């Protein structure tokens, strides 16, 4: 059975502390998820409402951190560049299947293209039978969104996992009203580790903020290397710190880079 957000939240009261994170420091390396962390979740990924103040806030924060700010997201890099035009921050897209370093170099960790095509066909055939599902083709991965038909949650999780277990080296992971299909190996923790091996992130304390299940590998990694993990919203988590919502995240970040500095 698929647990609801409320049920996960009830468990979180026992499972995780509610401590606010310590203040950001200009010597930190800051890693931020996007959806549910910097922007509120929307009925579909292309319908998020990006506050015009977000782009200057991120630009200003990046300057204060000497460039040590990266976005770590399930979205494709192309999609993020469309949402935040002109910013061109370092990004790990599709949970680390693609990564853009600070110097602009691109790193791809994609699976076999023929396997992706096969999975795409199988997922499309399933979605065609269930109106209301949205299949997002991100390039190296897929996401099946059931936000419009939440009653299909159990069916979607079971069916997509079943499809993916037939395919070696690929994984299906549930998130908020979606299931992601992507090659095994890349995850947000590995993407953060790769950034930390490069300038200007190397040698800094990593701080990672995210809201969903796919962020947990990032939380575990940064805490293992002495960093700070911050979970946004309810739900059990490995993160030691928590902020309640997107507004609280942006307020917390802005203590480092006030809007007037943008």
* Residues tagged active-site: 33
Tell me: does residue 33 bind Mg ion (CB under 5 A): yes
CB of 105 to Mg ion, least distance (A): 25
CB of 258 to Mg ion, least distance (A): 25
Tell me: does residue 180 bind Mg ion (CB under 5 A): no
Residue 228 pairs in a beta bridge with: 207
Site for Mg ion in 34-63 (CB under 5 A): 35-36
Tell me: does residue 212 bind Mg ion (CB under 5 A): yes
Q: Which of 180, 211, 230, 238 binds Mg ion (CB under 5 A)?
A: 211
Query: Who contacts 79 (Cβ-Cβ below 8 Å, separation ≥6)?
Result: 45, 93, 138
CB of 118 to Mg ion, least distance (A): 28
Query: Using CB under 5 A as the criterion, what x/- string covers residues 103-142 for binding Mg ion?
Result: ----------------------------------------
Tokens of 39: 């922007």
Q: Could you give the residue ranges of the DSSP H alpha helices within the chain?
A: 5-15, 54-64, 77-83, 113-128, 153-165, 188-196, 216-224, 246-254
Nearest 5°: the CA angle 221, 222, 223 is: 90
Tell me: does residue 93 bind Mg ion (CB under 5 A): no
- CA–CA separation, 20 vs 18, rounded Å? 6
Task: Give the footprint of Mg ion on this chain (CB under 5 A).
Answer: 33, 35-36, 211-212
């Amino acid at each position: 059975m698929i647990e609801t957000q409320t049920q996960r939240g009830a468990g979180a009261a026992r499972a995780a502390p509610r401590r606010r994170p310590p203040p950001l420091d200009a010597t930190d390396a800051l890693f931020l998820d996007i959806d549910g962390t910097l922007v509120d979740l929307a009925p579909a990924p292309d319908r998020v409402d990006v506050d015009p103040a977000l782009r200057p806030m991120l630009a200003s924060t990046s300057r204060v951190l000497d460039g040590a700010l990266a976005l770590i997201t399930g979205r494709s890099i192309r999609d993020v560049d469309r949402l935040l035009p002109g910013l061109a921050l370092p990004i790990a897209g599709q949970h680390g299947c693609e990564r853009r370093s600070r110097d602009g170099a691109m790193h791809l960790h994609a699976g076999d293209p023929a396997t992706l095509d096969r999975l795409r066909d199988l997922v499309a055939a399933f979605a065609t039978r269930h109106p209301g599902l949205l299949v997002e083709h991100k390039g190296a991965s897929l996401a099946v969104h059931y936000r419009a038909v939440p009653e299909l949650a159990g069916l979607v999780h079971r069916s997509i996992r079943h499809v993916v277990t037939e395919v070696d080296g690929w994984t299906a992971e549930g998130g908020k009203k979606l299931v992601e299909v992507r090659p095994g190996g890349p995850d947000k923790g590995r993407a953060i580790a790769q950034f930390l091996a490069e300038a200007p992130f190397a040698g800094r304390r990593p701080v990672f903020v995210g809201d969903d299940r796919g962020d947990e590998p990032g939380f575990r990694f940064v805490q293992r290397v002495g960093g700070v993990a911050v979970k946004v919203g309810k739900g059990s988590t490995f993160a030691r710190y928590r902020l309640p919502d997107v507004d609280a995240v942006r307020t917390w970040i802005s203590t480092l880079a006030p809007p007037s500095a943008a």
